[in-house]
Amino acid sequence: MANTFDYIIIGAGTAGCVLANRLSLDHTVLLIEAGGRDTKPEIHIPAAYTKLNKTRVDWSYWGTPQSKLNNRRIYLPRGKVMGGCSSTNAMAYVRGHRLDYDEWEQLGNKGWGYEELLPYFMKSEDNAQLSNEWHQQGGELHVSYRPHTILSDTFVEACESTGIARNPDCNGNDHLGAGLLQFNIKNGKRHSAAVAFIKPILDRKNLTIITHAHVKKILVKDQRAIGIEVLTGKNTTQKFHVKEEVLLAAGAFNSPQVLMLSGIGSKEELGRHRIPLVHELEGVGQNLQDHLFTGVGSWSKSKVGLNHQLTLINQMKSLFQFMANKSGPLTGSPLEANAFVNLNKTTQDRTDFQFHFVPLHLGDSSVIDLYDIKSFPTNRDGYTILPILLKPKSRGSVNLQSADPKATPVIDHNFLSEDEDAATLLKGTKMAIEIISQTPFNQYREKIITPPLRTSDDEIMAHIKLQTETLYHPVGTCKMGHDSMSVVDDELKVHGLSGIRVIDASIMPIIIAGNTNATVVMIAEKQLI
């Protein structure tokens, strides 16, 4: 195998798969992935995604104790497999609000306004139902609405009862409102970035893929990236050289880690781990942002949800149905419907809060494992609204635990450190309680079970502190910009170095108002220059 390539891509996640597909048409490309191929069966069964957590395809990270959340350590699932998080997430296809991107451009990032980015969202889209000025058909990545339970229609009606407008397409002209979600699911199976962009080109001679390989560091000479050093076995180290660029696409936790291991970052942080300073950039690993959610749930009077589908016998029936003809409950995401709202009304038409709707309840205990399907009760059906803090003011960090490339990074989100975040999440949770109490739910609602106590702000806040989790949308740790804490410029080139770009969610200067995977696809499409 040759050890020199035109491009080296670190990370075969969402961005890495897009980049490998596009660049290997005309260039030699090496794609490096720490995990393995996407052979685990549960990856391709949409409803089985929670069974991927804490397995060999998950980095299984945990954050540091969070003082504002009862000193709890928050579980942080990350895909460690071809396709990255697109192989392990809930498959929702959401682009965010147009003003998110206009804000990026207003920060001095030329070319990152919504109108200029829309063609890159559309470039790879294959939308099963929509073809208009916001959507197209024929691209690599399948997008579609999915069959859903009656409870999701009821949720949309309940939102309308509280004054939230119905919106059939949050990825179209309007972002605000309630409606059904779109998903990356095709023919009943997950349509990950690996399936969409890598599987069709596995025979392409220009593309070399190495899995189960940990990048030790990026090699830099005279302020230019010249290659990488990789651990490919217990004691095996290999070097690969690059003619054009090293493209770092390892995600919001691992991209800053790789930079710091390479001697690129804060002088103080690198010195703490005795890593020689190659290039000082104070912002590496800073500016961490993520979405937070809690739960407002109810039991239902009848079996109209998904809880009863989780009994062992029903899971076996559903699996048989899936294997036979790719139909049934296993072909959909547990997420079904969604609402975007302008909760604080600080800016006209600006989304600042989100509600996911799932047609199952998570139990009547405040402390549960939201990422373990085995913990979900099956004795009765129910439904849950997940109030989501979209625009946190709090900022966290990613630092090194040691100079060992296989060591877990130190991840401190600093959740709710800004009082405004706690106030907004409380306000949104109260709105979720209002929605779930609306008349359209009367025919299904037996009893609201979470928050268990909700007659005062203190009671609801106690519930939030006990149950709040991350929606696993970390961004910002190699932020794009031109200030002293920026890591990359608006071409995603690392400041002060040549031959290296960061292309993943870590470059977002401010987190978008919505799920982040579709935006990562767009970021990769845009940077093919």
Catalytically active residues, by annotation: 473
Residue count (the chain): 529
φ/ψ (deg, to 5) at 433: -60, -40
Lookup: tokens for 326 = 């790719």
Alpha-carbon distance 110 to 262, whole Å?
28
The two structure tokens encoding residue 500:
């290296």
Rounded Cα–Cα distance for residues 383 and 380 (Å): 10
For residue 345, with 0-12 CB atoms within 10 Å meaning exposed, 13-18 middle and 19 or more buried, which class applies? exposed
Query: At 225, which helix (H) or strand (E)?
Result: strand 224-231
Contact 111, 105 (CB under 8 A): yes
For residue 124, what is the DSSP state? T
On whether the CB atoms of residues 482 and 383 are closer than 8 A, the answer is no
Tokens of residue 406, six digits:
């296989």
Give the three-state DSSP class for 327.
coil
Beta strand residue intervals within 132-213, DSSP E: 141-145, 177-180, 182-183, 185-186, 189-190, 207-210
CA–CA separation, 23 vs 246, rounded Å? 12
DSSP 233-272: SSS-EEEEEEEEEEEE-SHHHHHHHHHHHTTEE-HHHHHH
Kindly give, in sequence order, each residue whose CB lies less than 8 Å from that of residue 195, ignoring residues fewer than 6 positions away: 38, 44, 83, 186, 189
Burial 348-362 (b: 16+ CB within 10 A, else e): eebbbbbbbbbbbbb
């579980």: which residue's tokens?
Answer: 75
Q: Give the dihedral sign, CA 430/431/436/441.
A: positive
